[in-house]
């Protein structure tokens, strides 16, 4: 029992380090290719925080563990809103921009609704199949396009000068990043299955709790650092963007590898995810200004604690 737990932790560390190295290396390549900071941020960096979820899902699907794959995404998204945004708001109140209210928060609702509809009504019964995965990927492309259009740089704005890393360091980080992601994904997916069997827990529950918490660490660290630096835009943009990409891209790619069997008990957790989005939306408009206050962040943390207690104690 002890060995799988140690290997699981080692796998999580490898995933997080691998994602950071790969993002740093890819960002350097993007700078050399003269991509704008906006494009680099919307593609390389935004996708980087979702890499742990993607890698674990790819390995899980390759092993036939679709329950772990879906539970990982739903659990990560709930944690991103209630725990990560709640923590960031307690550190420093988060101002929410108008564009996030008009585009990003509705996109999060739409992504969750798309997952619920595909899992319960469309395609094969309680299964997300390959063509639904293609639809999710097309929705991701549409969101990224709208994001780039709405965030076009004004013509008179001077772009900050970015200096790429030396080629040797860039290539080293890319190689280490890929190796870390591969090793971490192998260790996490394999040992999570072993622990699920040893503890008598379903793979979906392991994905919803242990795996989801660990794969959300990059978002948690990023948002805490952003909050301490009073950069609310990064804190909330990181969470909203990651949630949208988790469903559109990660589940989209996962369903291309194998049909994702959906446990109907997961509908309760999808309902919690909808409620989490609703809580965030309501809190933005309560109090002074469009922001998440420290008190509201505390309430979000309490909500997450209640969700975790219910999830662990409820029969599987």
**What's domain 2-313's architecture?**
Up-down Bundle (1.20)
State residue 45's pLDDT score: 64
Of 100-109, 202-211, 276-285, which one has max mean pLDDT?
Answer: 276-285
Domain boundaries, the chain: 2-313
User: 157 pLDDT band (50/70/90 cuts)?
Assistant: very low
pTM of the model: 0.79
Of the listed ranges 91-95, 115-119, 193-197, 241-245, the one predicted with least confidence: 193-197
Full DSSP string of 201-267? --HHHHIIIIIHHHHTHHHHHHHHHHHHTT-HHHHHHHHHHHHHHIIIIIIHHHHHHS-EE--TTHH
- The angle at the Cα of 246, spanning 140 to 244, to the nearest 5 degrees, equals 55
Higher pLDDT, 138 or 289: 138
pLDDT at 253 over 90: yes
pLDDT at 158 over 60: no
Asked if pLDDT for residue 306 goes beyond 60, the answer is: yes
Say which residue, 257 or 199, is predicted with more confidence: 257
Name the more confident of 161 and 216. Answer: 216
Mean of pLDDT over the chain = 83
CA neighbours within 13 Å on the CB side: how many for 227? 26
Per-residue pLDDT tens for 173-191? 888 988 887 888 778 877 8
């Amino acid at each position: 029992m002890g060995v799988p737990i140690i290997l699981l932790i080692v796998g999580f560390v490898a995933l997080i380090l691998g994602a950071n190295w790969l993002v740093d290396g890819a960002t350097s390549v993007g700078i050399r290719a003269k991509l704008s900071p906006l494009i680099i941020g919307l593609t390389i960096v935004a996708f980087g925080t979702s890499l742990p979820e993607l890698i674990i899902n790819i390995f899980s699907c390759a092993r036939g563990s679709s329950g772990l794959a879906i539970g990982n995404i739903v659990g990560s998204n709930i944690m991103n809103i209630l725990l990560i945004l709640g923590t960031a708001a307690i550190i420093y109140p988060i101002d929410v921009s108008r564009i996030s209210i008009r585009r990003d928060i509705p996109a999060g609702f739409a992504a969750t609704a798309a997952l619920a509809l595909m899992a319960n009504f469309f395609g094969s019964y309680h299964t997300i199949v390959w063509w639904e995965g293609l639809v999710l990927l097309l929705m991701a492309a549409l969101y990224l396009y709208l994001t780039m259009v709405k965030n076009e740089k004004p013509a008179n704005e001077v772009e900050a000068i970015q200096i790429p890393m030396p080629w040797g360091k860039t290539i080293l980080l890319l190689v280490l990043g890929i190796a870390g992601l591969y090793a971490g994904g192998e260790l996490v997916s394999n040992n999570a299955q072993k622990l699920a069997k040893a503890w008598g827990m379903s793979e979906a529950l392991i994905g919803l709790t242990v795996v989801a918490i660990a794969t959300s660490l990059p978002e948690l660290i990023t948002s805490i650092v952003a909050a301490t630096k009073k950069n609310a835009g990064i804190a909330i943009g990181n969470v909203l963007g990651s949630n949208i990409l988790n469903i559109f891209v990660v589940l989209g790619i996962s369903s291309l590898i194998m049909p994702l069997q959906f446990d109907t008990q997961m509908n309760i957790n999808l309902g919690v995810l909808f409620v989490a989005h609703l809580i965030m939306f309501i809190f933005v408009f309560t109090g002074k200004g469009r922001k998440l206050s420290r008190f509201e962040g505390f309430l979000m943390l309490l909500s997450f604690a209640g969700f975790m207690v219910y999830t662990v104690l409820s029969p599987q």
